[in-house]
Amino acid sequence: MTDDLDTQDFVSNSDPPEPEAEDIPARFGELRKLLLGGEQKRLADLEKRLEELEIDPEELADHLPDAVALRTNRDKQLARSLAPTLQEAFGESVQRNPQHIATAIFPILGPAIRKAIAETMAGFVNTLNRAIEHSLSIRGLKWRFEALRTGVPYPQIVIKYALVYRVEQVFLIHRETGLLLSQATAEDLEGQDADLISGMLTAIRDFVQDSFGKAEEGDGGLRTFSVGERTVLVEQGPKALLAAVVNGQHPASLLERLQATLETIHLQFARTLTDFEGDSEPFETAQPLLEECLETVLSTDRPSTRGSTPIVAWVVIAVVVIALSALWIRSVVRWNGAISALETEPGIVLVDADRGFFRSQITGLRDPLAADPNQRLVESRLDTNRVETRWEPYLSFDPQMVTERARRSLDVPATLEFEVVGDTLVASGSATYDWIEYAQTHVNLLPGVGTLDLDNVDPVLPADLDQFRQDIENRRVLFGIGASALNGEAQELISHIALIFAELAAAAEESGYEVMLDVVGRTDSTGSNETNRLLSRERARRVRVALIANGIPRDVVTATGIGSSDQLAADDPETRATINRSATVVATITYSPRAGGNQ
């Protein structure tokens, strides 16, 4: 247009117009056509195209796919712009007819769920492995011990030694005001006053920017700074900052992750961030995003190069466990053996048996006549020094104890056996007359015994008396054929018999027995019976007289002649004749407590 005016000026200046007023427009138009024909045509075309510029749907349909692809390749703006619309459309569709969406996504639901479960399980197994490694490796045990010793929680000890890096806190900060929008803190840490930290971070960032010159929006500025072992990473977005407090050496990937999170937050909260007036409530939904940034990486999470250590530890632990188990099992077996031995022991009642690690205790009742319980423990190979025993005395009515008590208090001869039937003590075997008398009068003193049954007891003489009796009865006073006179040998024998009798009589009196002697005279089988009877009687009489002469009281000794009626047996006839021409003494010992003795 400017060209046009210039030209007009030029024309009017160089060629002054003629006064034919009515011709002027027509001629002027002619001139314009001549001079500017080409331009005019182009102008008309452009005008036409401008009019047609209202979007033709068909043309748009042609170009739309290309345009979308082109923009998608260039940046993420299209996705960002479409996201809210798509979300709304999706929501609308679900509201109107959920069936469509359900049908559409059904094929991908199953695999997605399976994958999620598999990942959860894998994570769980991984955690389990880690826990086992931590608790069973030598290093893990060392850490546990240190935790016990110092009282510091075990996880903190692990972090102290194995930490590669840990994102402890993440803050989402409104860029302009420095106000805290949201924050996340690692589980076992106490969060600092996040409001103040976020303000200070912003102030520091502003200060750095002021001091080192204003950087262009979006790049430069304070990115990281260190405080002791901690590094603060600051990611800046147009509307908000994301600051992460990291303990340890963080990898570059962490920065990328923060960046991605910040981008997501800008996308999701674009409107809220712009309209922010100090209300942080809408940003609560951003917290899960921040929590995703919290991570702890330990050196133990990385594959260990020292694979042998755990195996050695395992072997050591296995050996120790086996040895301890063996010892334990042995001690249990011995203990149980000892307890059952005590339980079956007559006269012992277990009241309490408490098996401890270092000391054990046994308490119970013990009949004084029962076996020594400590002996039973020793027999079961129990260390009696580590067992404390307490035995209260009591009377047991166990048959064995009743019998034993009877044996002791009644001084029972070895030839007697006892059996307990109810409260009756049944004796069998043999016993001396004096013992039987004694037992019958003393049985009532025995606890647990009502009666004493002595029906099956053979009364016998006391052994010493019997011995004397036999000694006397085995001797024979021999005579010549048809003679009744006592020769020197016979006299000697008789005086010897008298000596034995003296001893017998003394012993008998002491235990309440009475001794009677009967001299029995014999003959050989020759001669008439009458002759023999008379001869035998004479022989007996003479011996009796001789015995009395030797000091035996007259009323104790009698004489009987039996002739040849009861012959003593011998192999050859001559010997038989010789031994039957004799007199023997039969001693009869009877129990007679009234005569004296130990009553």
Partner 1 sequence: MIQKKICMVGVYGTGKTSLVQQFVHSVFSEKYHSTVGVKIDRKQVELGDTTVNLVLWDLAGRDEFEDIPMSYVRGSAGIFYVVDGTRRGTFDQVFDIKHKVTEAIGNVPSLVALNKKDLVDEWRLGQGDYNTVKEEGLYAVDTSAKTGDGVEDAFLWLAQSTAEPKP
Tokens of 25: 């427009």
Q: Which is nearer to partner 1, 74 or 214 (CB)?
A: 214
H or E stretch including 357? none
Judged by CB under 8 A, which of 11, 154, 155, 178 binds partner 1?
A: 178
216 binds partner 1 (CB under 8 A): no
177 binds partner 1 (CB under 8 A): yes
Q: Which of residues 278-337 bind partner 1 (CB under 8 A)?
A: 278-281
188 binds partner 1 (CB under 8 A): no
221 binds partner 1 (CB under 8 A): no
Q: Which of residues 253-282 bind partner 1 (CB under 8 A)?
A: 277-281
217 binds partner 1 (CB under 8 A): no
Which span (127-135, 206-214, 304-312, 400-408) binds partner 1, by CB under 8 A? 206-214
179 binds partner 1 (CB under 8 A): yes
Contacts of 146 (CB under 8 A, 6+ apart): 152, 157
Q: Which is nearer to partner 1, 124 or 207 (CB)?
A: 207
413 binds partner 1 (CB under 8 A): no
What are residue 393's DSSP bridge partners?
366
237 binds partner 1 (CB under 8 A): no
Q: Which is nearer to partner 1, 10 or 207 (CB)?
A: 207
Contact 143, 300 (CB under 8 A): no
Contact 515, 504 (CB under 8 A): yes
173 binds partner 1 (CB under 8 A): no
Strand order in the sheet with 513-521: 476-478, 582-591, 513-521, 557-561
| Alpha-carbon span 304 to 455, nearest angstrom | 91
| Alpha-carbon span 157 to 161, nearest angstrom | 6
Q: Which is nearer to partner 1, 198 or 484 (CB)?
A: 198
Phi/psi for 135 (5° steps) reads -90, -20
199 binds partner 1 (CB under 8 A): yes
Q: How many CB atoms lie within 10 A of CB 465?
A: 21
203 binds partner 1 (CB under 8 A): yes
Q: Which is nearer to partner 1, 49 or 214 (CB)?
A: 214
Q: Which is nearer to partner 1, 237 or 248 (CB)?
A: 237
**C-alpha Rg value of the chain to the nearest Å:** 66
CA distances to 358, 527, 534 from 499, in Å: 72, 35, 29
Judged by CB under 8 A, which of 68, 132, 200, 483 binds partner 1?
A: 200
Contacts of 71 (CB under 8 A, 6+ apart): 77, 78
Q: Which is nearer to partner 1, 200 or 329 (CB)?
A: 200
Closest distance of CB 288 from partner 1, Å = 19
H-helix segments, 15-137: 24-51, 57-74, 77-96, 98-136
What are residue 366's DSSP bridge partners?
348, 393
Phi/psi for 38 (5° steps) reads -60, -50
218 binds partner 1 (CB under 8 A): no
Where on the chain is the footprint of partner 1 (CB under 8 A)? 174-180, 193, 195-196, 199-200, 203, 206-207, 209-210, 277-281
